[in-house]
Amino acid sequence: MKDAAPETIYLKDYTPFGYKIESVHLTFRLHPTATRVISKIAFAPNPEATDKRFFLHGEELSLISARINGETITPRPVEGGLEADVPEVPFVWEAEVEISPETNTALEGLYMSSGMYCTQCEAEGFRKITYYPDRPDVMATFTVRIEGDQPVMLSNGNPLTAGEGFVEWHDPWPKPSYLFALVAGNLVNHPDRFTTQSGRDVELNIWVRPGDEGKCAFGMQALKDAMAWDEKTYGREYDLDIFNIVAVDDFNMGAMENKGLNVFNSSCVLASKETSTDANFERIEGIIAHEYFHNWTGNRITCRDWFQLCLKEGLTVYRDQMFSGDMRSHAVKRIEEVLQLRARQFREDNGPLAHPVRPESFVEINNFYTATVYEKGAEIIGMLRRLVGDEAYRKGCDLYFERHDGQAVTIEDWLKAFEDVTGRDLAQFKQWYSQAGTPRLKMSEEWNDGTLTLTFAQSTPPTPGQSEKKPQVIPIAVGLIGPNGDEVVPTTVLEMTEAEQSFTFDGLGARPVASVLRDFSAPVILDRAMDDDTRAFLLAHDTDPFQKWEMGRMLTKDMLVAMIADDAAPAETALDAIKTVLTDENLDPAFRALVLGLPSEDDLAQTIFDAGQTPDPAKIHAARKSLRHTLAIHLSDVFPTLGRQLETPVFVPDADGSGKRALRHALLALETLLDGGKAARALFARADNMSDQGASLQALLAAGLGQDEIKAFEKQWENDRLVMDKWFMMQVSFAAPDKAASTALALTQHPDFTIKNPNRFRAVFGALAGNHAGFHAADGKAYQLLATHLIQLDKINPQTTARMSGAFETWKRYDADRQGMIRTELERILATPDLSRDTTEMVTRILS
Ligand code: ARG
Ligand code: ZN
* Protein residue with least CA distance to atom 1, ligand 1: 256
Distance CA 360, CA 366 (A): 15
| Integer-rounded Cα radius of gyration of the chain | 27
Distance CA 95, CA 73 (A): 10
Task: Tell me if residue 433 falls in helix, strand or coil.
Answer: helix
Distance CA 700, CA 348 (A): 32
* Protein residue with least CA distance to atom 11, ligand 1: 366
Pick from 253, 309, 803 the residue to mutate for probing ligand 1's pocket: most ligand atoms within 8 Å of its CB.
253
Contact of 406 with 300, CB cutoff 8 Å = yes
Ligand closest in space to the Cα of 294: 2
**Cα-to-centroid distance, 293 and ligand 2 (Å):** 9
Mean pLDDT of successive 10-residue stretches along the chain, which has 848 residues:
71 98 98 99 97 97 98 98 98 99 98 98 98 98 98 98 97 98 98 98 98 98 99 98 98 99 99 98 98 99 98 99 98 98 98 98 98 99 98 98 98 99 98 98 98 98 98 98 98 98 97 98 98 96 98 96 91 92 96 97 97 97 97 94 91 97 98 98 98 98 98 98 99 98 98 98 98 98 99 98 98 98 98 98 98
Distance CA 454, CA 445 (A): 5
Contact of 642 with 663, CB cutoff 8 Å = yes
Contact of 372 with 348, CB cutoff 8 Å = yes
Ligand closest in space to the Cα of 369: 1
3-state secondary structure 641-657: HHHHHCCCCCCCCCHHH
**Cα-to-centroid distance, 121 and ligand 1 (Å):** 9
Contact of 793 with 761, CB cutoff 8 Å = yes
Atom of ligand 1 at shortest distance to CA of 253? 8
Q: pLDDT value at position 4?
A: 53
Give the pocket of ligand 1 (CB within 6 Å).
Answer: 122-123, 252-257, 290-291, 313, 366, 369, 799
Atom of ligand 1 at shortest distance to CA of 252? 10
Contact of 69 with 87, CB cutoff 8 Å = yes
**Active site amino acids:** 291
**Cα-to-centroid distance, 313 and ligand 2 (Å):** 5
Question: Partners of 338 in the beta sheet?
Answer: none
CA distance readout (Å), 229 to 382, 391, 400: 18, 17, 19
Ligand closest in space to the Cα of 109: 1
* Protein residue with least CA distance to atom 6, ligand 1: 256
Question: Partners of 171 in the beta sheet?
Answer: 142
E strand or H helix that includes residue 25: strand 19-29
Buried b or exposed e, range 195-205, using 16+ CB within 10 angstroms: eeeeeeebbbb
* Protein residue with least CA distance to atom 3, ligand 1: 256
Residues with CB under 5 A from ligand 2 (ion): 313, 316
Nearest residue to 98 (alpha-carbon basis) of 75, 131, 122, 68: 131
Contact of 324 with 285, CB cutoff 8 Å = yes
**Cα-to-centroid distance, 122 and ligand 1 (Å):** 6
Atom of ligand 1 at shortest distance to CA of 366? 11
Q: 270: Cβ–Cβ under 8 A, 6 or more apart, which residues?
A: 208, 212, 215, 216, 219, 247, 276, 284, 722
Q: pLDDT value at position 571?
A: 87
3-state secondary structure 541-569: HCCCHHHHHHHHHHHHHHHHHHHHHHCCC
Peptide bond just before 123 cis, omega within 30 deg: yes
Q: What does residue 257 show for φ and ψ, rounded to 5 degrees?
A: -85, 30
**Cα-to-centroid distance, 759 and ligand 2 (Å):** 19
* Protein residue with least CA distance to atom 7, ligand 1: 122
Contact of 381 with 405, CB cutoff 8 Å = no
Count of helix runs (H) and strand runs (E) in the chain: 30, 31
Contact of 108 with 120, CB cutoff 8 Å = yes
pTM of structure = 0.98
* Protein residue with least CA distance to atom 8, ligand 1: 122
Nearest residue to 348 (alpha-carbon basis) of 819, 810, 795: 810
**Cα-to-centroid distance, 439 and ligand 2 (Å):** 25
Task: Look at the chain and count its residues.
Answer: 848
Ligand closest in space to the Cα of 316: 2
CA torsion sign, 308 to 310 to 311 to 316? positive
Q: pLDDT value at position 556?
A: 96
For residue 816, the Cα-to-chain-centroid distance in whole angstroms is 32
Pick from 251, 367, 369, 803 the residue to mutate for probing ligand 1's pocket: most ligand atoms within 8 Å of its CB.
369
